Chain A
Amino acid sequence: MEKFTTHTGVGVPLKQSNIDTDQIIPAVYLKRVTRTGFEDALFAGWRREPDFILNREPYTTGSVLVAGPDFGTGSSREHAVWALKDYGFKAVLSARFADIFRGNSGKQGLVAAEVDQQDIELIWKELENHPGTEVTVDLENRTVTCGSFSTGFRIDDYTRWRLMEGLDDIGLTLRSEDRIAEFEQSRPAFKPATLPARTA
């Protein structure tokens, strides 16, 4: 996982609340065997509408999604985070995130920044008045900046630390690799192994 300290990119105002994971990525895309390449699946239902925001310039290159409250509700599918990341989003701003979505984001290196709704609305206004304005998400200082407007956001210390260190769950566990190796030394000899293969 890449380390995240600060990111600046085109802000995309998505003025809706309660965007569930079925909207973020419809179930039909879950049959794939890949973990990347979900960019076409992101908001697939909405993107069929020509004037959906991601179909309009300059938002096609957006990397900071500014959404209404209760983002990422519904099914726990990790694909929702994969799709956002594959499309190019580095951060999502919302006043409230569904717990599982927030957890999945932290694990996959997507910043889910909790920003008060009144501030979200100020950012929306700025982005609409000046389409293409870049938004800066500064994880180190927990601030977002859009044009002349700047405010703080919330993210828990643990997730922030992980994102800044670029540690996914596996990376974290591998920090205990010597403990794992030590444990393996102590495993009894009678425990079975699948290799070399034996069959009846």
Chain B
Amino acid sequence: MTETAAAGTPRTHRPRTLAEKVWQDHVVVPGEGAGDAQTPDLLYIDLHLVHEVTSPQAFEGLRLAGRPVRRPDLTIATEDHNTPTLEIDKPIADPISRKQIETLRENAEEFGIRIHSLGDADQGIVHVVGPQLGLTQPGMTVVCGDSHTSTHGAFGALAFGIGTSEVEHVLATQTLPLKPFKTMAINVEGTLREGVTAKDIILAVIAKIGTGGGQGYVLEYRGSAIRSLSMDARMTICNMSIEAGARAGMIAPDQTTFDFIQGRPHAPQGADWDAAVEYWSTLATEDDAVFDAEVFLDADQLDPFVTWGTNPGQGVSLNESVPAPEQFEDLNDQAACRRALEYMDLEPGTPMKQIRVDTVFLGSCTNSRIEDLRTAAAIIDGQAKAQDVRMIVVPGSARVRLQAEAEGLDRVFKDFGAEWRFAGCSMCLGMNPDQLAPGERCASTSNRNFEGRQGKGGRTHLVSPVVAAATAIRGTLSAPADLGLQVPSVPQEV
């Protein structure tokens, strides 16, 4: 089944990485020349995810040129960035948000593209919807006009974000001209301690290699700690590859991957399933393949990780304190630290666990899947919320919401005093009304803590769902252990 590449694709005999295999199996026209002068490969795209923010001009471009969408059957659209999470049956108040969503609906209709609109059971954050429908599978190329497309790499797909003109290019041709990425292995060996999660792994990776450390690379997460993670957790890790500057993140498909996909609406069936699994099983990086760079992380030593600053690399263990600028060697890092501390209104030396928050946001394509909700619900169940903390729970998709309700998780959140919302990006970026007020401080399970990301003047600490739950109880950044609570293990999503 590896003989799927087009005729003329050069076959290499050196051992290959996962990323290289997927790449080579999608080359339609190989580039010419060598080195910097090499022209791009023309790469076939298996799945194109579309949402309302980055697609309007792409569709307009098609219209202006009189071009159709080449493969509507490899394209799917949903509404997420602008959608309200309250009163979803009322017209969207903000005219720009409304216009973007209406435009997407019109374009989907005109070009024959499947769309899951607000109110539909498969509406939700585009990166939650693809895997949930079983459309994201190993060995595929997946693109979307959104940087967190890297999420789908958890399945062993090569998945990356693209710009609006590339969206148009894929719509028109189902291909993209691209130069190959370099490869970086992120080896995480060992066993995570109780209360330490995938989110802590990726925050630690980013703190280690920096927000530019992955630039030009596809990261491959490997090692025993990664192998033992569920698919929901693997998606959390790959999701934030972009925060390390990487184009994509990948994890080799294995039995966990296959189990997750099997039986989903778009999973292969019968003989196709067998053929697919046979092919997927050939994709893992070969033993003596060489990566362009390698990083090692010890899972046994990891604590819950939280950010103190205004980029995702500015993080520390929850047991540590806010750093002082002088602790950084690099002068730029010192300046960045000073600026971040001022924006975040934090004093160096303050224990992270003493930082009081106003809001806890459980959501975003990083941590809004069913396992994230189950974990947080299991921790808060029977506990009382800190009085002046507001907690907002936003499921990643309408289906996750339905599933959570079927399991009674909504009751747990509501009894606790949290707000139970409809699906979307919500406070991850505040394009809808879910925003922080100026000066407000938030423990957020999302992926970006940039200045103003969650609302003008808002202050974001990136945390795992475990830390989010404990923080909502105690009112300050906390782990369940600080409350004498255990972290119950919850069923994995299969």
Residues of A within 8 A of B (CB): 1, 31, 33-36, 78, 107, 168-170, 173-174, 176-177, 179-180, 182-184, 186-195, 197-200
A192 contacts B266, C-beta separation under 8 Å: yes
Q: Measured between alpha carbons, how far is A70 from B73 in the docked complex, in Å?
A: 44
A200 contacts B173, C-beta separation under 8 Å: no
Question: Across the interface, which residues of B come within 8 angstroms of A169, CB to CB?
Answer: 165, 169, 177
- From B6, B60, B75, B96, contact of A182 by CB (8 A): B6
Known: A183-B6, A186-B6. A176 touches B29 (CB 8 A): yes
Q: Does B190 contact A (CB under 8 A)?
A: no
Known: A180-B44, A195-B73, A199-B121. A189 touches B172 (CB 8 A): no
Chain B contact-residue range equals 35 or more
Question: Across the interface, which residues of B come within 8 angstroms of A193, CB to CB?
Answer: 73-74, 266
Q: Measured between alpha carbons, how far is A195 from B75 in the docked complex, in Å?
A: 8
Known: A189-B272, A192-B134. A35 touches B57 (CB 8 A): yes
Question: Across the interface, which residues of A come within 8 angstroms of B29, CB to CB?
Answer: 176, 179
Q: Does B418 contact A (CB under 8 A)?
A: no
Question: Across the interface, which residues of A come within 8 angstroms of B265, CB to CB?
Answer: 198-200
A33 contacts B56, C-beta separation under 8 Å: yes
Question: Across the interface, which residues of B come within 8 angstroms of A177, CB to CB?
Answer: 173
Q: Measured between alpha carbons, how far is A147 from B459 in the docked complex, in Å?
A: 60
B268 contacts A192, C-beta separation under 8 Å: yes
Interface of B is mostly: mixed
Known pairs A34-B60, A190-B276, A191-B137. 19 more at Cβ < 8 A?
A169-B177, A170-B67, A170-B172, A170-B173, A173-B42, A183-B28, A186-B5, A188-B4, A188-B275, A191-B140, A194-B47, A194-B72, A194-B266, A197-B114, A199-B122, A199-B265, A200-B122, A200-B132, A200-B133
Residues of B within 8 A of A (CB): 1, 4-7, 28-29, 42, 44, 46-47, 56-57, 60-61, 64-65, 67, 70, 72-76, 96, 99-100, 103, 114, 121-122, 132-135, 137, 140, 164-165, 168-169, 172-175, 177, 264-268, 272-273, 275-276, 279, 399
Q: Measured between alpha carbons, how far is A190 from B175 in the docked complex, in Å?
A: 19
Question: Across the interface, which residues of A come within 8 angstroms of B121, CB to CB?
Answer: 199-200
A188 contacts B264, C-beta separation under 8 Å: no
B172 contacts A194, C-beta separation under 8 Å: no
B177 contacts A173, C-beta separation under 8 Å: yes
Q: Measured between alpha carbons, how far is A186 from B177 in the docked complex, in Å?
A: 19
